[in-house]
């Protein structure tokens, strides 16, 4: 996630880190070369593009803008839903920790460290990392690696542990039901995140937008080269930067749990859970909070 203050004029004109420009630079270079070819052709052969009117490009550009805004809105909804789910994860962890505050120290250690393992395991699962290794750092249960869903298996073990506490009479039925409700909330968070990660925007939908944007930006220089000559670069590059930038930004937001600069900072939110749970267990020193690197918080 990009972490920057509100941009001023200098940032708007010169900032590279945190912008979408590095992602689309080669596309803009390609469009600039097409512009150059169109301008030189119109100078060598005046009137060669005379029958190409700019009016159709106006209509197509409006339609493409509406279509692209709709897709970006859909991608942002996925990003925002993912953020709400991880916010719910943090809330459930804090609530569970409060409910577990009266338990014996070994039980609190097991359950609160299990919450840290759950957060790390889910982040690893969503980002395609080594999920069993992420869990092993917090939970000494090698059998979790044999499960098709190790993070959910850890949640199941924690629920079973709470059930044993009730059966042994160390907590009441109401206390157990409250703990189980928070574990259920964590399970819903995991299912919601997996639904987003495993259900991409239909490929044909994205392909149509990509093709239309490329065709529009590649054809536009030939409609403007004749009347604008060298000034063709200005409107073509601005339009291409806008369309390609929105297109690339939508690609990043489509997968809110990825490693792109605009993806959600799962590592930072996981570290938040770790610090708070370890603080409740009285452990010191705490791991430092995650900090942005070159304005990117992962």
> pLDDT 10s per residue in the chain (298 long)?
666 666 555 555 556 666 777 888 899 999 999 999 988 888 888 777 767 777 777 778 888 888 888 888 889 999 999 999 999 999 999 999 999 999 999 999 999 999 999 999 999 999 999 999 999 989 888 888 888 999 999 999 999 999 999 999 899 999 999 999 999 999 999 999 999 999 888 888 788 888 888 888 888 888 888 888 888 889 899 899 988 988 888 888 889 998 888 889 999 999 999 999 999 998 888 888 877 776 667 7
Strand (E) or helix (H) holding 94: helix 55-99
Distance from C-alpha of 173 to C-alpha of 24, rounded to nearest angstrom: 58
pLDDT for the residue numbered 7: 59
pLDDT for the residue numbered 268: 92
Q: How many C-beta atoms lie closer than 10 Å to residue 96's C-beta? A: 25
3-state SS, residue 288: coil
Cα dist from 59 to 54, 56, 64, 224, 245, whole Å: 9, 5, 9, 15, 20
Query: 17: which 2 tokens?
Result: 């880190």
Angle CA 33–35–38, to nearest 5? 110
Distance from C-alpha of 34 to C-alpha of 221, rounded to nearest angstrom: 7
């Amino acid at each position: 996630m990009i972490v920057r203050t509100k941009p001023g004029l200098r940032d708007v004109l010169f900032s590279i880190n945190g912008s979408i420009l590095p992602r689309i630079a080669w596309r803009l270079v390609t469009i600039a070369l097409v512009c150059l070819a169109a301008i030189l052709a119109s100078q060598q052969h005046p009137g060669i593009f005379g029958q190409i009117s700019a009016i159709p490009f106006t209509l197509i550009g409006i339609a493409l803008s509406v279509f692209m805004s709709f897709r970006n809105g859909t991608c942002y909804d996925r990003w925002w839903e993912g953020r709400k789910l991880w916010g719910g994860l943090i809330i459930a962890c804090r609530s569970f920790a409060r409910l577990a505050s009266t338990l014996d120290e070994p039980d609190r250690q097991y359950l609160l460290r299990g919450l840290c393992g759950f957060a790390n395991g889910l982040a690893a699962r969503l980002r395609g990392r080594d999920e069993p290794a992420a869990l092993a750092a917090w939970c000494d249960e090698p059998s979790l690696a044999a499960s098709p869903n190790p993070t959910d298996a850890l949640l199941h073990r924690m629920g079973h542990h709470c059930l044993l506490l009730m059966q042994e009479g160390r907590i009441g039925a109401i206390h157990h039901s409250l703990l189980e409700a928070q574990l259920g909330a964590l399970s819903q968070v995991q299912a919601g995140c997996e639904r987003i990660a495993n259900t991409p925007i239909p490929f044909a939908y994205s392909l149509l937008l990509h093709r239309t944007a490329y065709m529009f930006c590649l054809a536009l220089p030939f409609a403007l080269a004749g009347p604008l000559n060298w000034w063709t670069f200005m409107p073509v590059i601005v339009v291409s930067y806008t369309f390609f930038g929105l297109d690339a930004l939508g690609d990043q937001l489509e997968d809110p749990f990825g490693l792109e600069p605009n993806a959600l900072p799962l590592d930072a939110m996981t570290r938040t859970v770790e610090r708070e749970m370890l603080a409740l267990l009285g452990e010191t020193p705490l791991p430092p909070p995650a900090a942005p690197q070159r304005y990117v918080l992962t």
